[in-house]
Amino acid sequence: MGLGYQFANPILRPVLFIYQLMQWLLDKILSPRPPSSCTQARRPKIAIIGAGITGVSSAAHCIGHGFDVVVFEAGDKDSLGGIWSKVNDTSSLQIHSLMYRFHPSVKWNHGYPERQEILSQVRQLWERYGLDTRTKFNTRIDKIYKDDSGRWVLDDPSNGVFEGVVAAVGTCGEPKMPNMSGIDKFQGAIYHSSQLTGTAAKDKTMLIIGGGASAVEALEFAAKQGCAKTYILARSDKWIIPRNFLVDVLFALNVLGQETLFSWIPEALLRRFFYRDLADLAPCDKGIFTDTPMVNSDVMDKLRSGKAEWVRCDIEDFTGAGIVINKRERGTPSGGHGERRVVEGDMIVMATGYERPKLNFLPDDCFSEPYHPPNWYLQTFPPTHPSISAINCTYLSAIGTVGNWHIGIYTRILLMFLVDPMTRPRPFWMKRWIDMTRVLKVFAPTDALDFFTYLELVWWFTFCVTINPFRWKWALFVFFGLSVALPRKGPGMQDVRKGRDVGKTF
């Protein structure tokens, strides 16, 4: 079909046709109108830090609703798209693309698009909303502070002054390459899991160190390149769930966002019907609602075919032709008793993830104990600064989506706070929301805001709007982005610059 969007044949592919028709309708109904060349923004100006999926989508929402933006990106133009600009060409979505519609105008050609189609959608969105003229590449932001009028300055006034800030630096920065003792003994090639494109791997044995999403990325590459054998050497167990839209949605519908008395039911069903003969790989020391699961059915198929082997182990040493491991049985903790074994291979892939980008460019008072990320209002707003939203870069683990719905809502909540002082919460009440969430999740195996599900996110948003009567008139705008629902000026909505970062109400 190519990267250009076109409808599938409704007779030959009816499901895909319905999916594409739905996307077309969502675009027509929910996409804010791109600005014309002569359009002048009349509302507050927003700084977007980061030109990944979240940054581009958030900027498009702002522009579409009449707010001016400048996007600051530390990398060059090739960095557009964030983490997807860095991964292998064989990488693809692990969740159904319906759960990855980061803007209502995005139109996928099929359920599980690969890297190039994802980057193409990001670039089209970036150009459609005129962000190509509003993006400053090779501009790393080290500090933001207020000027005398209470507006935000990013490093230097020459970059402009802003009423609001969206931090969209994500959770994945530079590839993490740990310095493992003895690795210099290995005579073969060593790569990071994101740097495999162009590597010759056919008929070779690949040794993957790590057992998370990066390991799955490397396994996909190994399969497409025709590796003779792939070993995944994982220190700890991680839940794997099917690459199935319905199953993924059901897991995301846990409104409590934590392990419950009934969590054993979906976990038992996974072991019985998904893991089956590989149930030994399912974690026994943590529930599924404690950590971000991997979403991939192909892993199981590859393990059953014998092309890949998943080994629970500790890395002890290296040899010229392989890795010395301590293979452990299920339930044995890392460092516990196991079987010493040498796994030989032609190449080592470090599936060790990425360095987490720091938010230390934000004001110091954003990190006061115990209200530090992710323990912020709605997890993204520092209690001291309602004019700042750190979207998709504070969370640790989740079962959810990267949908337009939540990126758009976070962005529009920020816009509401900037425009209408009577909706803007005081620090006292922002902290009380955090405290309330801690009480509601007091029995969670993780800290309250360290893990959430998508339906829990819906509860957060709903509570945020309904608890304050001054926000009711904003509900349709916040939840659906309907421009016709954007309230006009009224009581409490004076066009003043000073004070947009000061909470006015509960």
pLDDT tens digits, 108-150: 988 889 999 999 999 999 999 999 999 999 999 999 999 999 9
Judge whether 72 and 47 are in contact, CB under 8 Å: yes
456 vs 466: CA distance, rounded Å: 15
Element (H, E) at 303: helix 298-305
pLDDT band for position 473 (cuts 50, 70, 90): very high
The pLDDT assigned to 60 comes to 96
The answer to whether residues 72 and 136 touch, using CB atoms and an 8 Å cutoff, is yes
Q: Using 50, 70 and 90 to split pLDDT, how confident is the model at 3?
A: very low
Mean pLDDT for the stretch of residues 472-489: 84
The CA distance from 93 to 293, in Å, is 14
The secondary structure of residue 463, as a DSSP letter, is H
* Angle 270-274-280 from CA coordinates, rounded to 5°: 80
Burial 242-267 (b: 16+ CB within 10 A, else e): bbebebbbebbebebbbbeeebeebb
CA distances from 171 to 334, 356, 357, 506 (A): 26, 5, 6, 31
Q: What is the pTM of this model?
A: 0.92
- pLDDT of 492 > 50? The answer is no
Residue 95, CB-side half-sphere exposure with 13 Å CA sphere: 21
Contact between 327 and 313 under an 8 Å Cβ cutoff? The reply is yes
- pLDDT tens digits, one per residue of 186-223: 999 999 999 999 999 999 999 999 998 899 889 999 99
pLDDT at 72 over 50: yes
pLDDT in tens, 379-433: 999 999 999 999 999 999 998 765 657 899 999 999 999 999 999 999 999 999 9
Find all residues with CB under 8 Å of 459, minimum gap 6, and list them. Answer: 255
Give the percent of the chain with pLDDT over 90. Answer: 74
- For 347, the token pair is 């190449």
How far is C-alpha 378 from the geometric centre of its chain's CA atoms? 16
Helix (H, G, I), strand (E, B) or coil at 7: coil
Q: What φ, ψ does residue 323 adopt, rounded to 5°?
A: -130, 135
Predicted pLDDT of residue 161: 95
pLDDT at 42 over 70: no
> How much is the pLDDT for 490?
46
Go through the domains of the chain in sequence order and give each one's CATH number. Answer: 14-173+356-485 (3.50.50.60), 183-238+293-350 (3.50.50.60)
| Confidence category of residue 498, pLDDT binned at 50, 70, 90 | low
Strand order in the sheet with 144-146: 144-146, 152-154, 161-162
State the pLDDT at residue 246.
87
What pLDDT is attached to residue 249? 85
Q: Are 232 and 254 in contact (CB under 8 A)?
A: no
Query: Strand locations in 285-358, DSSP E?
Result: 294-295, 308-318, 322-327, 339-344, 347-350
Q: Is 321 helix (H, G, I), strand (E, B) or coil?
A: coil
- Cis omega (within 30 of 0) on the bond before 374? yes
- Report the C-alpha gap between 44 and 63 in whole angstroms: 11
Instruction: Indicate if the pLDDT at residue 73 is higher than 60.
Output: yes
Neighbours of 429 (CB within 10 A): 15
DSSP at 271: I
> What's the half-sphere exposure (Cβ side, CA atoms, 13 Å) at 220?
25
Grouping H, G, I as helix, E, B as strand and the rest as coil, residue 295 is strand
Distances (CA, A) of 181 to 133, 184, 335: 48, 8, 16
Q: What mean pLDDT value characterizes the chain?
A: 91
Residues 484, 488, 493, 498, CA torsion sign: positive
Task: Give residues with Cβ within 8 angstroms of 4, minimum separation 6.
Answer: none
CA atoms within 13 A on the CB side of 251: 30
- Cβ-based neighbour number of residue 120 at 10 Å: 17
Structure tokens at 362: 């934000």
- Encoded tokens for 477: 């705008």
Per-residue HEC secondary structure of 480-504 comes to HCCHHHCCCCCCCCCCCCCCCCCCC
The pLDDT-based confidence of 95 (bands split at 50, 70, 90) is confident
Contact status, residue 74 vs residue 144, Cβ threshold 8 Å:
no
Is residue 226 within 8 Å of residue 201, measured between CB atoms? yes
- Region 355-362: mean pLDDT is 96
Nearest to 349 by CA among 198, 205, 184: 205
The residue among 20, 21, 19, 41 whose CA lies nearest residue 32 is 41
